[in-house]
Amino acid sequence: MPNINADIVAGLETTQQFIDLVGLELGLADDDSLNSIGVFTLDAASVTIDGENYSFELGVTIAVDHDEEGEATQELSGTLTIDVTKQNQIYKAVYKGQITIPTSDTDNLIFDIQYQAKTEVGQTTKLIVGQLNTKLEQNIGNVNFADLFSKISPELGNLVPEELLDGFSLNQNLLFVIKVSDTSTTPTKKKMIFGIGFNNNIGFNNNIAFSEIPLISNQLPADILTSQFTIELILSLQKFEQKELKTINGFLQELGAGIKIQPPSSSANELNRGASIAAYFNIGGYIRAWLTPLKRRTGSGSITGSGSISPSPAPSGASLAASRQFSSQSPIASPTSEQPIVVKSSLTATICQRLQSLLKWLKAKFGIQSDTLPQTEEFSLKPQAEIWNPGSRSFAQSEELPVKQRTAIRNIGTRLAPSGEFRLVASPRTTTPEEDTPITIADNGAWLTVQKSFGTIHLEKVGLIYKTGEIHLTPQFIVQVSDFSLVLNGLSISTPLTNFNPQFNLDGFGLTYEKNSLNIAGAFLRKERADYEEYLGMVTLGMQTKGSGGKQKSLSLSAVGAYAYYGNEPSLFLYLAVDYPLGGPPEIFVTGLAGGFGYNRDLIVPPLGEITEFPLVAQALSGVGDLSGDPGEIINEQIESLSRYIPISLDAGFLAIGIKFTTYKLLDSFALLTLALSENNFELNLIGISTLVVPPSTSSSIDPVAVVQLALQARFSLAEGLLLVQAELTPNSYILSQKCHLTGGFAAAFWFAGEHEGDFVITLGGYHPSFKVPTHYPTVPRLGFNWQLDSHTSITGEGYFALCSHAVMAGGSLSFRYKSGSVHAFFEVGADFLICWKPYYYDISARIRISGGIGIISISLGVELHLWGPELGGKAKIDLWIASATVKFGDQGSRDPLPIAWDEFKSSFLPQDTEICSIAASKGLVKQITRGEEEIWIINPKTLELVTDSFIPSKKAFTWEKEESIETNTGFAINPMGINSDELETTHKVTISKDGNSEDAKAKFSFAPVTKAAPTAIWGKPNLTDKGRLKLPEVNGQQFENGVFSGFRIIPAESPKAGESNSIGVEHLQNETSLIDDRYSWQTLEKFVASPDYTEEIEKRDRIRETITTNSQRDALLQALGFAPSQVQIDSAIADSFVFAPQVK
| Mean pLDDT rounded to a whole number for the chain | 76
Tell which residue, 525, 1011, 944, has the closest CA to residue 754: 1011
631/889: higher pLDDT: 889
- Confidence band, pLDDT 50/70/90 cuts, at residue 21: very high
What are the b/e assignments for 368-389, b being 16+ CB within 10 Å? bebeebeeeeebbbbeebbbbe
pLDDT for 494-511, tens place per residue?
A: 887 767 677 777 777 777
* CB contact at 8 A, 40 and 97: no
- 718 has pLDDT over 80: yes
pLDDT score for 392: 34
* CB contact at 8 A, 1006 and 944: no
Lowest mean pLDDT among 215-224, 347-356, 569-578, 781-790: 347-356
pLDDT score for 379: 34
- 1 has pLDDT over 50: yes
Cα dihedral 451/454/455/459 (nearest 10): -40
pLDDT score for 346: 31
pLDDT for 111-139, tens place per residue?
A: 899 888 777 666 778 888 888 887 777 77
Tell which residue, 1039, 837, 1048, 892, has the closest CA to residue 960: 1048
| Alpha carbon separation from 111 to 73, 77, 128, 718 (Å, rounded) | 21, 11, 11, 79
| Alpha carbon separation from 243 to 125, 338, 1115 (Å, rounded) | 12, 21, 114
pLDDT score for 582: 81
Lowest mean pLDDT among 103-112, 137-146, 738-747: 137-146
Burial label, 355 (beta-carbon count in 10 A; 0-12, 13-18, 19+): buried
- 45 has pLDDT over 90: yes
- 459 has pLDDT over 70: yes
Phi-psi region of 357 (alpha: psi -120 to 50; beta: other; left: phi over 0): alpha
pLDDT score for 120: 66
Whole-angstrom distance, CA of residue 192 vs CA of residue 239: 9
Lowest mean pLDDT among 232-246, 268-282, 910-924, 1119-1133: 1119-1133
Rounded average pLDDT over 1049-1062: 82
- Containing 1140, the helix (H) or strand (E) segment is helix 1132-1140
Rounded average pLDDT over 141-161: 72
The answer for residues whose C-beta is within 8 angstroms of residue 142's C-beta and 6 or more apart is 169
* 355 three-state secondary structure: helix
pLDDT score for 272: 86
4: which strand partners? none
Amino acid identity, residue 998?
Answer: S
Whole-angstrom distance, CA of residue 500 vs CA of residue 796: 72
pLDDT score for 361: 47
* DSSP track, 686-735: EEEEEEEEES-TTT-SSPPSEEEEEEEEEEEETTTTEEEEEEEE-TT-EE
For the ranges 160-174, 322-336, 838-852, 1082-1096, the maximum mean pLDDT occurs at 838-852
pLDDT score for 102: 84
Whole-angstrom distance, CA of residue 751 vs CA of residue 756: 6
18/869: higher pLDDT: 18
Q: Compute the Cα dihedral for 909, 915, 917, 918 and give only its sign.
A: negative
Q: Is the peptide bond before 695 cis (omega within 30 degrees of 0)?
A: yes
- 561 has pLDDT over 80: yes
335/813: higher pLDDT: 813
pLDDT score for 813: 93
- Confidence band, pLDDT 50/70/90 cuts, at residue 303: very low
Rounded average pLDDT over 354-381: 43
- 479 has pLDDT over 90: no
Rounded average pLDDT over 81-110: 88
For the ranges 101-115, 190-204, 1096-1110, the maximum mean pLDDT occurs at 101-115
The answer for residues whose C-beta is within 8 angstroms of residue 947's C-beta and 6 or more apart is 919, 920, 922, 1010, 1047, 1048, 1049, 1050
- Confidence band, pLDDT 50/70/90 cuts, at residue 32: confident
- Confidence band, pLDDT 50/70/90 cuts, at residue 302: very low
Lowest mean pLDDT among 4-8, 432-436, 1087-1091: 432-436
pLDDT for 422-449, tens place per residue?
A: 222 322 333 344 456 777 777 788 888 8
- Cβ of 1133: how many Cβ atoms within 10 Å? 8
Tell which residue, 1068, 1145, 1067, 1063, has the closest CA to residue 1104: 1145
Whole-angstrom distance, CA of residue 34 vs CA of residue 117: 8
Rounded average pLDDT over 544-550: 61
- Containing 234, the helix (H) or strand (E) segment is strand 228-236
* CB contact at 8 A, 713 and 611: yes
- Cβ of 972: how many Cβ atoms within 10 Å? 26
Query: How many Cα neighbours within 13 Å face the side chain of 381?
Result: 27
946/1136: higher pLDDT: 946
- 1034 has pLDDT over 50: yes
409/224: higher pLDDT: 224
Q: Helices in 214-267 by DSSP H: which ranges?
A: 222-225, 242-255
* CB contact at 8 A, 169 and 142: yes
pLDDT score for 801: 92
Q: Is the peptide bond before 2 cis (omega within 30 degrees of 0)?
A: no
Tell which residue, 642, 647, 589, 580, has the closest CA to residue 617: 642
Whole-angstrom distance, CA of residue 921 vs CA of residue 1052: 13
pLDDT score for 427: 29
- 407 has pLDDT over 50: no
pLDDT for 656-696, tens place per residue?
A: 888 888 888 888 888 889 888 887 778 888 988 888 888 87
* pTM of the predicted protein model: 0.52
488 backbone dihedrals φ, ψ, rounded to 5°: -90, 130
